[in-house]
Chains A and B, each alone.
Chain A
Amino acid sequence: MAVATGATGWAAWLDPYSLAGRFVQYAASPIVQAAASLASTASRALGHYWRATVGAISPVAAAAAAIPVLLVLGLAMLRGRAFCGALCPVGSILGMLNRFAPLRVRLDADGCVSCGACAGACTAHCIDTAARKLDAGRCVSCFSCLSACPTGAMRYGRQEKPGVDFGLGRIPDVSRRYFIRKAVAGSAAVAAAAMAVPLARAAISAASGIASGTVPGQTTLPPALPPGAISAGLYLSRCTACGLCVSKCPSRVLRPSIMRLGASGFLSPYLDYDASYCQYECTACLDQCPSGALSPMPPADRKLVQMGTAALVRAKCIVITDKTPCGACAEHCPTGAVRMVAVAGGLPEPLFDESICIGCGACHHICPAEPVKAITVSGKAVQGIAAAPRKNLFSAEERPASGDADAAGMGPGEFPF
């Protein structure tokens, strides 16, 4: 919805689909998961392993997702459908259309005795009994008033009021006031639409500045965005932070941003490589994204999208500092961008090739160096395309760490020992 109206950021906070998605993912789901976890523990006592996947819980995200929903519900209890009629973009548009609906609830002022029975029953608080008027823009067609009205002044149907028909359809009013009112409203709408575009552009450029790590005082690595985000600006202009991709991410590397993507990217997902890493064969987030923030693409293309770039700091690598064999980075790298190369008279050391690195974060996540990892992945503000993985893992001058291919192995039909 927010995307359809060309406004994300603030609008994502009113869009009911995103609100609902966030509420389920960040506020309701942790409670369900906790219950499932308890049930799973109980099942183990019976010798069964009932699966309960528990994701990371972010209190900030949970609160941020729950508060708007609680506000909506609270408003509904106190003031009827105030959110739906006045704030919700979906409700507002439906309400606007409802004013021109041929079939709708109508109040016949002549038959009304201002008894207030309809207003008492109205769930949308849209009937002014003193003035004997019904605000069709807020009416949700619940029909509670129809049965409540003792005089039959409330009815559902077509308009029967006298108007002027010029042969092209009935015009309700031909007064000068009616004409001026409509003209002013129309001009205002055009002016607002014209202003919205530059405002949105300004917001996007501010957001991309934050995403590319140009905010002063920010010391953490620029966050990587999911594959298909294309650029931070495009991504943040389209993401409504609905949380669908977060809920479907099998490795749970996608996390809602609290601060990492700036104010306009609040709760938009980024890849948290300290928590996990992006799975090479997986396209779950791309397949899920309902807003187009992640461009869908075939799995083969997704495997070449550079979400970030690794940086190897040899001075922090435990092979060099502690003289201990490792190779965790190379072992996890899906493209062979990090590989262990034999070093004369020493332990095999990692070697990094940026051209085939896709920034999936596997090496970053698994690197055992403490307190600072020797290999880290920073996100790219504009995603690139990596070269295809090599046909031969090692170039002519490199020697593989474990001397792999130099052994003969088994002969056909022979026992090796």
Chain B
Amino acid sequence: MDHSRKRRIRLVVAATAAMLLASALIWTSFSAGSDEKTAGQLLETARPGETYTLAGTVAPNSIVRERGVVWFRILDPHRRVSARVRYTGLVPDPFREGRGVMVKVQVGPGGLRGSVDTVFIAEKDSMITKCPSKFQVAPEELPRGAPEDLLRAAPST
């Protein structure tokens, strides 16, 4: 077999292999990917058994902890609705009320479409909390040194 023919065959084999692998990669990413939804979208469209990525901010006064389980609500950034989440596993350090989070969830048992009481069961350890570097206090909101604000930096104990 001449050299250029050999090269062409090698190229075709390599290109075919690369195409097949790339197709597998694309196919599995679309089938394995979990859709990112807001609380409102999830309440309206979530189907039992499907996994979704719920994104939003943790609602004020909604965090309750009980023996390894954390309950909280995630607010929809565009609408005045929130979804109730039952989370197990490690809670990231920056997690708190008002913080942007993403968590993988499924509709809990007995969940009803559209009902704000539907509980979404979070996948263990699936929570991502947004970086705190973007919630710095704006300089104009910083204390001005007035005595009444009692913001002396730290206790002297």
B partners with A? no
Q: Which residue numbers of A lie inside 8 Å of B, CB to CB?
A: none
